[in-house]
Amino acid sequence: MRGLKMDKMKQQQKPKLVIERDYSKYGFSVDVDYLYKARKGLSHEIVEEISKIKDEPKWMLEFRLKALEHFIQRPLPTWGPDLSRIPFDDLVYYLKPIDKQATSWEDLPEAIRQTFEKLGIPEAERKFLGGVGAMFDSETVYHKIREDLAKQGVIFCDTDTALKEYPELFRKYFGTVVPYNDNKFAALNSAVWSGGSFLYIPEGVHVNIPLQAYFRINAPQMGQFERTLIIAEPDSKVHYIESCTAGVYTTKSLHAAVVEIIALPGAHVRYTTLQNWADNVYNLVTKRAHAYENAIVEWLDANIGSQVTMKYPSVYLLGQGARAEILSVAFAGKGQHQDTGGKAIHLAPNTSSTITAKSVSKDGGKTNYRGLIKVLPGAINSRSFTKCDAIILDEQSVSDTIPYMEINENQVSIGHEATVGKVSDEQLFYLMSRGLTEQQALTMIVNGFFEAFTKELPMEYAVEFNRLIQLEMAGAVG
């Protein structure tokens, strides 16, 4: 449908539209009197101060300082998107909005409560969630779990609270999946982490309604460094959803989270992310899971917002029969670079992994798929399949595909397929022949392209995801 003839006609029909991303729903910010605001930049003193404010045990302070040392020494990655413009020295690394976490929305300061009302969180909680954690800048301001789940022994609280209330459980698993020196941004997170979710599912317990965490960056030029730890005991099951949005600013912000999942034998953990940061946010996140015998870990990872995202959710398949499912979708619009993908490391026999990646780039946006399938000696009968599809919607946009396959065992079946190109002319023509405008047809095809992801979401999220894509697709026909 990009034939010369049509292009000419389009020019006659309407002027070229330049549409900015629509932030009407998420881009706002509110005035908050912060209880504590660290001074700009990062230092040992700031790390010590954070630890002191949080009244942490000594081992945690030592962990933080070790991590800080590593962060300082470790160079920026030499591959991937350009990170040289992150204003490390101008960021605020800790920003405490309230003194005491609430378990009722009414107890929150008005501005913060309104923020989450506007984002629809309390309503969603009433309707279909089993628990909610809400993080506002550096602290989790609200946390609640449904009573019936709590009674079954499910723990769902913010990570700082967990350190205090479940010190043994916490220390047993914290930092075991993503060590502090894993990469520069995991080191940064380890040094200044604050907030995030701690989720513990006892053996055999199935949590059948999703638990949700909402991450909100309100202040300008800040870094949000939440830390999430999920421990799924044998044969348990849980679905955790996180959403991220931020106020829009002209200055840069940084979000560097670490997520660790431990899926013990037979456990099934699904982790869904709807990332819609404002596009002044650098989103550099380390997400990793350990899957033991017959455990299933699913990462459903959608990246629509942010200026730069680097995120490759990983699963270490440590036990026989463990399974990893990674579904990664990305949309890169003007000025955005989505460098996403997934990793599966097969360390045990009869393990399997599937990575499905779908991306759309538009208005000069850039999507990269970066992935790794690694099979270690002895991981016999490993099976892995990766499928990457990228759509490039216009001449300004680009897409790279960089899959690594490191196979050190022969009794395996490893496959990879990828396609990159534009929306098929034939599909467009077919839909338009039924009366759909080019814009409608394109949006429909792109929504269909992402359907493999949306069909896995709870209904309310699927509707919201499709709405976001529709907003992003506005002006696709130029």
Partner 1 sequence: MLVTDFLQMIKNRSEPSWLKQRRLDTFTKFSQLKMPDSKEEEWRYIDISQVNLDNVKIDGYTDISIDFGNDVIVLLMKEALNKFSDMINEHAFSLFTDADKFVSFVSSFWNNGVFVYVPKNVQAELPVTVKINNTNNPVYSLVVLDENSKLNFVEENVADKINPIVSDKINPIVSTSVTEIFVKENSKLNFFCSQILPENLYSFYYKRASVERGAEINWFLGSFGAKLSRWKVETFLKGENAKCQKYGIYAGNKNQHHDIITKTFHLVPHTSNNILVKGVLTGRASSVYRGLIRIEKNAQQTLSYMGAHTLLLSNKAKSNNIPSLEIEANDVRATHGSSVGQLEEEKLFYLMSRGLDRKLAENIIVEGFLETVLNKFTSDEVREKFRAITNERLLNA
Partner 2 sequence: MELEIKDLHVSIEGKKILNGISLKIKEGELHALMGPNGSGKSTLAYVLMGHPKYKIDSGEIIFHGENIINLTPDKRAKLGLFLGFQYPTEVPGVTFKNFLWTAYKTLNNGASYVDFNEILDEKLELLEIDKSFVLRYLNEGFSGGEKKRSEILQLAVLNPKIAVLDETDSGLDVDSLKIVANGIKKLNENGMGILLITHYQRILNYILPDFVHVMTDGKIVKSGGHDLAKEIEEKGYEGIKDG
For residue 401, state whether it binds partner 1 (rule: CB under 8 A). yes
For residue 341, state whether it binds partner 1 (rule: CB under 8 A). no
**To the nearest whole angstrom, how small is the minimum distance from the Cβ of residue 358 to partner 2?**
10
Report the partner that residue 419 touches, choosing among partner 1, partner 2, none (CB closer than 5 to 8 A by kind). Answer: partner 1
Q: Which stretch binds partner 1 (CB under 8 A): 111-119, 231-239, 347-355, 385-393?
A: 385-393
Say if CB 344 and CB 376 are below 8 A apart.
no
Report the partner that residue 114 touches, choosing among partner 2, partner 1, none (CB closer than 5 to 8 A by kind). Answer: none
CB-nearer residue toward partner 1: 188 or 476: 476
Q: Of 359-378, which residues contact partner 1 (CB under 8 A)?
A: 377
Q: Which stretch binds partner 1 (CB under 8 A): 39-47, 162-170, 418-426, 463-471?
A: 418-426
Of 169, 405, 471, 474, the one binding partner 1 (CB under 8 A) is 405
Q: Which amino acid is at 267?
A: A
Give the span between the Cα atoms of 430 and 460, in whole angstroms: 30
Report the partner that residue 377 touches, choosing among partner 1, partner 2, none (CB closer than 5 to 8 A by kind). Answer: partner 1
Residue of 317, 379, 377 lying closest to 343 (CA atoms):
317
**To the nearest whole angstrom, how small is the minimum distance from the Cβ of residue 332 to partner 1?**
13
Give the span between the Cα atoms of 176 and 172, in whole angstroms: 8
Give the span between the Cα atoms of 409 and 396, in whole angstroms: 42
For residue 47, state whether it binds partner 2 (rule: CB under 8 A). no
Of 19, 248, 418, 471, the one binding partner 1 (CB under 8 A) is 418
Q: Which stretch binds partner 2 (CB under 8 A): 153-161, 264-272, 400-408, 443-451?
A: 443-451
Give the span between the Cα atoms of 244 and 282, in whole angstroms: 12
CB-nearer residue toward partner 2: 161 or 440: 440
| E strand or H helix at 272 | strand 268-275
Cα–Cα separations (whole angstroms), residue 346 to 3, 17, 110: 47, 48, 49
Burial 88-109 (b: 16+ CB within 10 A, else e): eeebbbbbbbbeebbeebeebb
Give the span between the Cα atoms of 355 and 258, in whole angstroms: 21
Residue of 200, 271, 264 lying closest to 235 (CA atoms):
264
**To the nearest whole angstrom, how small is the minimum distance from the Cβ of residue 387 to partner 2?**
12
**14's tokens:** 């309407």
Report the partner that residue 451 touches, choosing among partner 2, partner 1, none (CB closer than 5 to 8 A by kind). Answer: partner 2
**To the nearest whole angstrom, how small is the minimum distance from the Cβ of residue 322 to partner 2?**
29
For the chain, what percentages of helix, strand and coil (3-state, to nearest 5) are there?
25, 35, 40
* 3-state helix/strand/coil string of 203-256: CCCECCCCEEEEEEECCCCEEECCEEEEEECCCCEEEEEEEEEECCCCCCEEEC
**To the nearest whole angstrom, how small is the minimum distance from the Cβ of residue 94 to partner 1?**
34
Q: Which stretch binds partner 2 (CB under 8 A): 97-105, 230-238, 274-282, 442-450?
A: 442-450
Residue of 402, 353, 422 lying closest to 381 (CA atoms):
353
For residue 15, state whether it binds partner 2 (rule: CB under 8 A). no
The single residue listed with the structure tokens 């789940």 is 149
**To the nearest whole angstrom, how small is the minimum distance from the Cβ of residue 382 to partner 1?**
10
For residue 450, state whether it binds partner 2 (rule: CB under 8 A). yes
CB-nearer residue toward partner 2: 143 or 362: 362
Give the span between the Cα atoms of 327 and 477, in whole angstroms: 28
**One character per residue 72-91, x = contact with partner 1 (rule: CB under 8 A):** -------x------------
Q: Which stretch binds partner 1 (CB under 8 A): 49-57, 165-173, 308-316, 392-400?
A: 392-400
Torsion (CA) 184, 186, 192, 196 in degrees, nearest 10: 150
**15's tokens:** 């002027």
Q: Of 413-432, which residues contact partner 2 (CB under 8 A)?
A: 424-427, 429-432
**To the nearest whole angstrom, how small is the minimum distance from the Cβ of residue 399 to partner 1?**
5
For residue 395, state whether it binds partner 1 (rule: CB under 8 A). yes
**Footprint of partner 1 on this chain (CB under 8 A)?**
2, 79, 377, 380, 390, 392-395, 397-422
**Footprint of partner 2 on this chain (CB under 8 A)?**
1-3, 5-6, 9, 424-427, 429-438, 440-441, 444-445, 447-452
